């Protein structure tokens, strides 16, 4: 019955996403200076919209239901009171624009100009400086009306009885992740690899893969963890291809959870990944706190030991198929690895800040050979857990 309900939810969501008309966002631009800044959005038709504010850091969120963007999102250059902006989908047909503010602002005027051929419809938002106290008061007023981001329902999981492995392609939707010098986006690299890895796991017939996303969809970090916990996963693998300041750093790296980072690079990477929700326009209070419970702590301790064991075996199994980082196993406090009862690792396939890694991601051979190596490593690890009498699902 539960699977049937999930299947119906999936079919309804798919039908709605596929049939609904979408208002196309054609262009965006900033005009003005630090005394008065205007943000203009050109659209196919006059839009509905919701504007809300968030602090820590200060942001202005513009939600556009039933809208999509014309072309892949590009980071917007700041001007006046706006330091920069980004945009993308937070759910199918639900567009979001996030303005990062250089200082607290007041929304002094908003209006819509209806389309008159050949001119498009325009959403116009005027901003002026305000005090921190007034901005915080506006944040509090906005809280009840701020749209919540719900995860997209997925297809029902087949009842195979096999150990379940959750594959988590990092980023998606409004969150493009890292971008290489050649323009390749992390969210595309991670999804391509996760789909290939899922195919290899299914072909092996020993495990059941489940992806947190199968398309360009945004999920919060907590939603990704919930997928693993609610499905009682035997293993959680979050897949990434980040950038780092040192462009000479390259090669695959496996990260496990630790309150204390193993090095500065790992610490910086975790800090960046943990900001994904903020970059997508989510409030800090929207995200659940870590559960403080002695039983949870005991479970987490055992889970971390299993995660480390898998990370070490994975690094060894990857040597023949991957170019490995000079320090291929690192530790840091990644939020996405915090499921107390699910062994979890974050796999950096390579670094988009490195030209050789980016070229590898673009090659025709990528990612089949690498996916085969990971699939065999996962199978061997979970087979060992079963042999040792561990519960894997």
Give residue 11's region: left, alpha or beta (phi > 0; psi -120 to 50).
alpha
pLDDT of residue 22: 87
Q: Which CATH number fits domain 22-145: 3.40.190.10, 2.40.30.10, 1.10.3720.10, 2.60.40.3500?
A: 2.60.40.3500
Residues of the chain within CATH 3.40.630.40 domain(s) are 164-387
Q: Do 349 and 240 contact (CB within 8 A), yes or no?
A: yes
pLDDT of residue 93: 81
Task: Give the separation between CA 78 and CA 99, rounded to whole angstroms.
Answer: 9
Please give the model's pTM, rounded to 2 decimal places. Answer: 0.85
pLDDT of residue 290: 52
pLDDT of residue 103: 94
pLDDT of residue 384: 78
pLDDT of residue 1: 43
- Residue 214 Cα distances to 41, 46, 134, 190, 196, angstroms: 29, 31, 42, 11, 11
Q: Among candidates 60, 67, 64, 70, which has minimal Cα distance to 27?
A: 70
Residues of the chain within CATH 2.60.40.3500 domain(s) are 22-145
Q: Identify the CATH class of 164-387.
A: alpha beta
Q: Do 221 and 334 contact (CB within 8 A), yes or no?
A: no
Mean pLDDT by groups of 10 residues along the chain of 393 residues: 42 43 92 96 95 94 92 85 93 91 96 94 98 95 72 57 93 93 94 97 94 93 92 95 94 93 92 90 64 50 90 92 93 91 95 95 89 94 72 55
- Residues 6 or more apart whose CB falls under 8 angstroms from that of 178 comprise 185, 186, 241, 242, 243, 352, 353
pLDDT of residue 15: 42
pLDDT of residue 70: 86
């Amino acid at each position: 019955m539960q699977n049937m309900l999930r299947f119906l939810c999936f079919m309804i969501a798919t039908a709605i996403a596929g049939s609904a008309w979408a208002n196309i966002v054609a262009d965006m631009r900033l005009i003005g200076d630090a005394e008065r800044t205007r943000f203009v959005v050109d659209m196919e038709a006059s839009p509905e919209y919701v504007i809300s504010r968030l602090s820590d850091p200060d942001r202005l969120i513009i939600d556009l239901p039933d809208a999509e963007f014309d072309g892949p999102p590009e980071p917007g250059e700041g001007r006046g009171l706006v330091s920069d902006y980004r945009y993308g989908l937070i759910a199918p047909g639900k567009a979001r624009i996030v303005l990062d503010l250089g200082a607290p602002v007041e929304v002094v005027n908003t209006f819509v100009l209806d389309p008159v051929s050949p001119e498009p419809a325009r959403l116009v938002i005027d901003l002026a400086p305000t005090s921190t106290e007034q901005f915080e008061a506006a944040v509090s007023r906005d809280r009840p009306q701020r749209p919540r981001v719900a995860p997209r329902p997925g297809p029902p999981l087949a009842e195979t009885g096999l150990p379940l492995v959750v594959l988590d392609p990092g980023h998606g939707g409004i969150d493009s992740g890292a971008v290489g010098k050649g323009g390749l986006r992390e969210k595309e690299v991670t999804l391509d690899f996760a789909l290939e890895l899922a195919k290899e796991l299914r072909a092996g017939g020993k495990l059941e893969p489940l992806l947190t996303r199968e398309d360009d969809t945004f999920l919060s970090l907590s939603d990704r963890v919930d997928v693993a916990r609610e499905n009682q996963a035997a293993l959680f693998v979050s897949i990434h291809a980040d950038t780092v300041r040192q462009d000479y750093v390259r090669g695959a790296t496996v990260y496990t959870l630790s309150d204390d980072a193993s090095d500065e690079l790992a610490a910086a990477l975790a800090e960046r990944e943990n900001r994904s929700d903020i970059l997508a326009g989510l409030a800090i209070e929207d995200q659940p706190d870590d559960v403080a419970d002695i039983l949870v702590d005991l479970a987490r301790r055992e889970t971390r030991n299993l995660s480390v064991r898998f990370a070490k075996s994975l690094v060894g199994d990857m040597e023949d198929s991957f170019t490995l980082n000079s320090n291929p196993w690192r530790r840091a406090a990644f939020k996405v690895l915090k499921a107390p009862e699910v062994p979890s690792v974050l796999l950096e396939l390579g670094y988009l800040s490195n030209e050789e890694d980016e070229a590898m991601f673009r090659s025709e051979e990528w990612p089949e050979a690498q996916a085969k190596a990971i699939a065999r490593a996962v199978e061997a690890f979970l087979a060992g857990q079963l042999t040792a009498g561990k519960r894997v699902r």
